[in-house]
Each structure stands twice: as C-alpha cells, then as structure tokens.
Structure 1
C-alpha cells in the first residue's frame, strides 16, 4: 500500500513534458509580431511627435524618443486652441448620434426581420442601392432639410444629419439577428399582456446586445471622426466645431503647428480606443456569430 501511494505522489509531482513549438509556429509568431509592430508604429510615432517641437519632428525623422518631452503641446491644444470646447461638442454629437442610430436601426431591423408585408423586398433592395451612395451626394439635401427645420447651426441638427440617414448596415444587422429568434418569445410575452413596444424594448432588444455593441462601435467611430458634414454645418459657427474639423486650426497661412496637431490627434484618439477596449469582446462575438451563420 505504501509503494503505490509513493509512486502516485511522484507522478503527480512530476511536471508533464512541454511540447516544443514547431518551426512553422515560430515563424507564424515572428511574422505576427512584425506585423503588429508595423501596425502600431504610426500611433506610437504620433504620441512621440506630440511630445516634440515642430523642428524636432522633421529633424529626427522616424525616431521615437524626444530629446526633452514638451508637455506644453497638450496644454496648448486643449486650452489655447479650444480643443476642450471641440471635445465637448464631439462628445455630445457622438452620443446623440449613437442613441438615435441604435433606436431607429433596431426598430427598422425588427420590422424587417419579424414581419412580412407588401414591398418588403423592394425596401431592402432600395436600402442596398443607397448603401453605395457617397456622402457628398446627400449633403446638399441634408443641409436644406435641416435648414428648413431651423436646426442648421445646432447640435440637434448635426445629430439628425448624421443619425437620420439610411444606416443600412446597422439595420440589416438587426434584421438578420431578429429573424433567427424563436417566435415563442413574442407569443409568451403577448400572453402576459405585453404590447408591441414592450415586447421590443424588454424582450427582443436586450437579446440583441452583441449586435447593439457592434452598431455602437461602428456608429461611434463614424460620428467621432466624420469631417465633411460637421465642416459644412459649422462654417458660420466656429464654436460648434468638432475635433475633426478643429484640426484645421493648426494650419496657418504660412506655417503649420505640427506638434500641436499631433497632441490634438492623440487627445481625439483616446476616447475611441477606450470605447473599443470596453466593447471589443461583444464586437468580436457578433462578428464571429455572423461568420458562423
């Protein structure tokens, strides 16, 4: 009885032999590391440039380490140039656009995915056609409609201009998800006395959280970085500029403040990175689910 127990203890205590990686795995890891370094290098260089003077940016070339960090670039971009105000404008417009797009795309996708009606295929086909229209083709009509509503130089007008469009991709994502949900979910909710909007907001929409995360990320990136429509809407109202439009402040008639522009670019990228880090798992899960389907 003693010998087998001792043998068992020796086997348990002995570490299992590790399997050596093959040559192909080593090559794959090295290639991925090189591609990752190339992918992240522009961002690292941007952060480095934001801590240099403009002459040093061009004097050091691709070098990353500044001779002496110039933190005043961030202070100048944030307070003196007015990026604090642009940041608030962009945040308000982005959040409003995301909420508007999620609600209307989810409602439209719910109808297209769960109900059959006359003209449904025509509407989907029309969506797909408008999906390929460039932004420049619709900016005149959007500006005129917003002007007629009396919202041309306001945050609300810009939110409507950005979020009240077709949003085809978001609508079709919701439609594809809602189409695959079992009918029993709605039937049991209606037996409990729930109406159409109660079924949608309390039963169906919470189940579509992975799709909502995807739509939030895509819409957030679009609204945060969009340039053309905010430029048109803020030509006569500089105080309403967004971060993307505010970058033009650093470009003068005779010179460009490259270090200040780099600092402003880093400031504008931080919220984008933060949102993606928080929602990346849901985003990847929704994309993986779409591929499996």
Structure 2
C-alpha cells in the first residue's frame, strides 16, 4: 500500500513538472514556428504553432537584408574576446584572494562584494568617458573593453572559493621545482580550475551575447558595429514591425547560446556544485 502511494505521488509530481516544462518551453517553440510564417498569418494564427507553408525566406531576409551576418560576426568577436579577458582577470584575482595572505584582504573582499549591489547604470558614465579618452568610441575594441570592465565579483568569489580549498602541497611542490607565482598559477592552479573556467565562460558568454545597453551606447554612431541584440532594431519601421523577420533573427541569436550550454553543461554543473561544496 505504501509503495503504491509512493508511485502515485511520484506520478503526480512528474505530471506537474512536465506541465510546467511545457509552459516554460512553449514561448520558444512558438517563436521558432512563428519565424516560418508570414506577418499576416502570424497575426491571424494566435497561439497556433504550425505554419501553413514554411517561409524559409524569413531567415534569408534577416541574415542578408537586415545585416545579421555582420551583426553575428561582431557579436562573436566581442563575446569571445570579453570571455577570455574576464576569465583571465577573475582567475588571477580569485587566485590572489584565495591563496595569498596580505594586509586588508578581508576588507578588500567585503568592499568588492558590496559592489555587486551597485546598478550598472551608475558605472556606465565613467566607463564611457574612459573609452572616449582612449579614442575607442564606435569601435569593436571599445565595446570589448566596456563589456569586460567592472569587478565581475561573482566570478572572482567563485574562483577564490575554489582556489582556497586546494591543498597547499600543490604550491609547495611547484616551488620546489623552481616555479614562481605566475608559473604556479599558469601550470598548476589554472588547469585544475577547469570547472570554474567553464562556469565563468558560459555565464559571461550568455551575458555578453545578450547584452544590449553597452553595445547600443558604444556603437551609436556606427550602426555597422551593432551586435545581434541591438540589431533587432532593424525590423522596427516607422509605421510597421516585421514580426516574422524579428522571430527569425531571434532564433539565429539564441541558437549559439543553446549550443554552448549543451556542449559545456557538465563543466558548468561541476563548477557550481564545487563552489557550493567549498
């Protein structure tokens, strides 16, 4: 009797979770099928999914006429460069905070942690002025520096927690082999932190790929340097909106994120669970 009740409870829980999963996934599925409709059919079909005749030309229109091929290239360059910079800087900072004892270390951790609660809008002006003085406005390097700027406190704390729990024998063995601070970090500590690198890379990839505010501000006078998120403006006209073209562009934009997460989800889960255990 108890086993039967347990099976019933399990079936009820799974049924609720499946229903919630369908509700969660449905908007994406609807967007996917909407990208294959005409604008008239999209407006008239409501929540109907399947198109009468698939309009694959929507993707061609988004890729060529709306210049999403150029926006895609800009987004890849900005995202990859930003991820590399953020991973290296956060790993180095986390290693120093996790392994090196220096005066004011705890105070420094408290101060940078407090910056997590500061809205990014408050820091965009000094970042903008810095990029302007460097002569990098309306350029890809300027956008990359703006995206990779900031404390990235969450990633620093994740690396710090991970490096802190590693045994001291690793550094002692490296020192016996004549390795200094940088060589120990590069050849011993960094390779051991692959789960944290994957976690940081995936999260930063998603944030940078979907970033709208920073690319909009720093490419305002050069539309050719827009990213995919900012490029959505191309489908909004003065008196009309190309909804199906926008849906096709959204599918193009989101597919790389899904691919990256699926490919590296194991490392992402290991990194999160490792930081929690630490």
Whole-angstrom CA distance in 2 between matches of 1:154 and 1:79: 22
* Alignment pair present for 1:155 and 2:140: yes
Q: Deviations over 1:160-210 (max 9, x none)?
A: 111121100011100000000011101101111112111101100111111
Q: CA deviation at 1:292?
A: 3.3
Moved over 6 A (4+): none
Instruction: State yes or no: 1:100 paired with 2:90.
Output: no
Distance 1:135 1:258 in 2: 30
Aligned: 1:138 with 2:123: yes
Supply the RMSD in Å over aligned alpha carbons: 1.2
State the 1:129 CA deviation. 1.6
Give the equivalent residue in structure 2 for 1:28.
13
Of the structure 1 ranges 241-250 and 26-35, higher mean CA displacement relative to structure 2 is found in 26-35
Indicate yes or no: 2:95 matched with 1:110: yes
Query: What's 2:46 paired with?
Result: 61
Q: Hey, what's the Cα distance between the residues in 1 that align with 2:234 and 2:20? A: 34
Partner of 2:199: 214
Aligned: 1:290 with 2:275: yes
CA distance in 1, matches of 2:163, 2:201: 17
**Aligned length, in residue pairs:** 275
Q: Helix, strand or coil: the match of 2:117?
A: coil
Alpha-carbon distance between aligned partners in 1 of 2:91 and 2:236, rounded to the nearest angstrom: 41
Q: How does 1:156-195 map to 2 (within 5 A)?
A: 156-195=141-180
CA distance in 2, matches of 1:147, 1:57: 44
Taking structure 2 as the reference length, the TM-score comes to 0.96
Given that 2:131 and 2:142 are in contact with CA atoms closer than 8 Å, whether structure 1 keeps it comes out as yes
Kindly provide the CA deviation profile for residues 6-43 of structure 1, in whole angstroms up to 9, marking residues without a partner as x: xxxxxxxxxxxxx9771011111111111111111111
Distance in 1, Cα, partners of 2:191 & 2:67: 39
Q: 2:110 maps to what in 1?
A: 125
Q: Any conservation in 2 of the 1:100–1:164 contact (CA below 8 Å)?
A: no
Q: CA deviation at 1:291?
A: 3.2
Larger Rg: 1
In 1: Cα distance, 2:174 partner to 2:104 partner: 28
Q: In 1, distance between residues paired with 2:88 and 2:161? A: 16
Contact 1:105 1:170 in 2 (8 A): yes
Decide whether aligned partners of structure 1 residues 109 and 292 sit closer, same or farther in structure 2, where only a CA change above 3 A counts: closer
Partner Cα separation in structure 1 for residue 253 and residue 65 of structure 2: 16
1:73 aligns with 2:58: yes
- Where does the alignment leave 5 or more consecutive residues of structure 1 unmatched? 1-18
Higher alpha-carbon deviation: 239-248 or 134-143: 134-143
Q: TM-score, normalised by structure 1?
A: 0.91
Residue 11 of structure 1 corresponds to: none
